[in-house]
Amino acid sequence: PPDFNKLNAIARSWLGTPFRAEACMKGRGVDCKFLVLAIIDEWLGLEPAPRRFFKNPGSRYADDGFIQTAFERFYSDVYQHGDPPVLPGDALSFKFCDVAHVGLVIDRNHLVHVLATDGVLIDRLDAPGFMDNLVHVYHLRVDAGGTI
């Protein structure tokens, strides 16, 4: 069975890392898509995929099509808001105005993500604005990394 305590600990180890577009260095800088991918890689014990594979040239923000392509390593079921419940290990995609954003559910009530103004932080899923702007719920594949 998946070790959700390990997922939570890995996510918390990123707290305070500042936002930096197209970066993925704990304590130095990360963007939302690379944060989710780095946490999942570490949690499942996988070698990180080359960053150039995931790079989204010319964009300061992750776009939803890019997120879906990058997450195909781990996630197969993509649900629209209102379908199955959100579970630990799920990636959530949001749209705030014209900006796509993604975060990782670390327990039934919390999401780890990164903001340009605050860096990596953990917020409650029921915080104002999140679920109203939810676009997709990406469920972890059963065979992801041979672990789950």
CA distance 123 to 76: 25
Written as tens digits, the pLDDT of the chain (148 aa) is 679 999 999 999 999 999 998 889 999 999 998 999 899 989 988 877 665 544 455 554 445 556 666 666 676 666 665 656 788 998 888 888 777 789 999 998 999 999 999 999 999 998 888 888 888 888 877 665 543 4
Residue 148 confidence (pLDDT): 42
3-state SS track over 2-67? CCHHHHHHHHHHCCCCCECCCCEECCCEECHHHHHHHHHHHHHCCCCCCHHHHCCCCCCCCCHHHH
Model pTM? 0.82
CA distance 139 to 127: 21
Contact 106, 11 (CB under 8 A): yes
